[in-house]
Amino acid sequence: MRNQLREGIEEAKLYYILKLKDAGVIEDKNKKMNNLTLSELQRLVKFYQL
């Protein structure tokens, strides 16, 4: 059985990364975004008011 908590965190991270990409804040080629924590991604979205 897969770790549901890890899956949930990864889904949330992907949601925020896509939100930042759609707004043009980050480029598609920026692989470093996957290394950010969920909290860091949430702060970026809040900072850019997305």
pLDDT in tens, 7-48: 999 999 999 999 999 999 888 766 788 899 999 999 999 999
Identify the pLDDT of residue 23: 94
Identify the pLDDT of residue 29: 67
Alpha carbons 13 and 7: distance in angstroms, whole number: 10
∠ at Cα 31 (28, 40), nearest 5°?
A: 100
Identify the pLDDT of residue 27: 82
pTM of the predicted model as reported, rounded to 2 decimal places? 0.85
Q: Are 41 and 16 in contact (CB under 8 A)?
A: yes
Nearest-10 crossing angle of helices 38-47, 4-22: 30
CB neighbourhood size of 20 (10 A): 20
